[in-house]
Structure 1
Amino acid sequence: MTDMMTLEWTAVCGLDRLDHERGIAALVDGVQVALFRTGDELYAVDNLDPVGGAYVMSRGIVGSRGGVPTVASPLHKQVYDLRTGHCLDLPGVALPVHQVRCRDGLVEVRLRREE
């Protein structure tokens, strides 16, 4: 079993900087994170595409599959569940998912890292 370590909350940007259905990249405690806003929900995943090996997930295509909020890699088009990070096209492949919230108009991220 993998142990996870949760770090502190880090302010990233104002909520108004996040366009609906589009991603942005942010550097949080040395980790590139892709942030997404869909409707009233916020999501944060690693920006590193686990298949293509490039930091591009923030440029992915936001959508949904069967009611599940998703992002498709701009490289090879694998689709990932924004809630869990699991790839819907390749079993066993996943993006690390981080906690995200909006407090007083600021988007904050708390990384989850393996110990």
Structure 2
Amino acid sequence: MNWHQICDIELLLPEYGVPALIGEHPVAVFRTHDDELYAIGNVDPFCGAGVMSRGIVGDRGGEPTVASPMLKQVFSLRTGECLDDPGARLPVFPVRRRETVVEVALP
């Protein structure tokens, strides 16, 4: 697995996402209000647009989520599963904080 620097942790505000392109992989990285980090695919599987980083961060029954800004489907930040349509899924990526930098891993 190769780790890639995304941004300084101070630039990743709680409840917001940032987009990143790692090679050919569009990624959305999120920081939740409880300071957890998540990385998912940035392309909405329902409309094909690279917009997930602009989604609305929240939770559903304790599950951290992001709602697509386009069609409003809600996805788990932990698993990438669409909670409104379990047949759809976003890829998820390992993410970590190293000192003040956020990093995402890809195979």
Q: 1:18 aligns with which of 12, 21, 32?
A: 12
Deviation string for 1:46-68 (max 9, x for gaps)?
10001111000001000000000
Deviation at 1:30, TM superposition (A): 2.6
Aligned position for 1:30: 24
- Between the aligned partners of 1:74 and 1:106, the Cα distance in structure 2 is 27
Q: Secondary structure at the match of 2:69?
A: coil
Q: Secondary structure at the match of 1:16?
A: helix
State how many pairs are aligned. Answer: 106
Greater fraction of residues in strand? 1
Q: Secondary structure at the match of 1:27?
A: strand
4+ residue segments displaced more than 6 Å: none
Deviation at 1:111, TM superposition (A): 2.0
- Between the aligned partners of 1:48 and 1:18, the Cα distance in structure 2 is 19
Contiguous gaps of at least 5 residues in structure 2: none
Greater C-alpha Rg: 1
Whether 1:104 and 2:99 are equivalent positions in the alignment is yes
Moved more, 21-30 or 85-94: 21-30
Q: Secondary structure at the match of 2:106?
A: strand
- Between the aligned partners of 1:22 and 1:110, the Cα distance in structure 2 is 20
Contiguous gaps of at least 5 residues in structure 1: 1-6
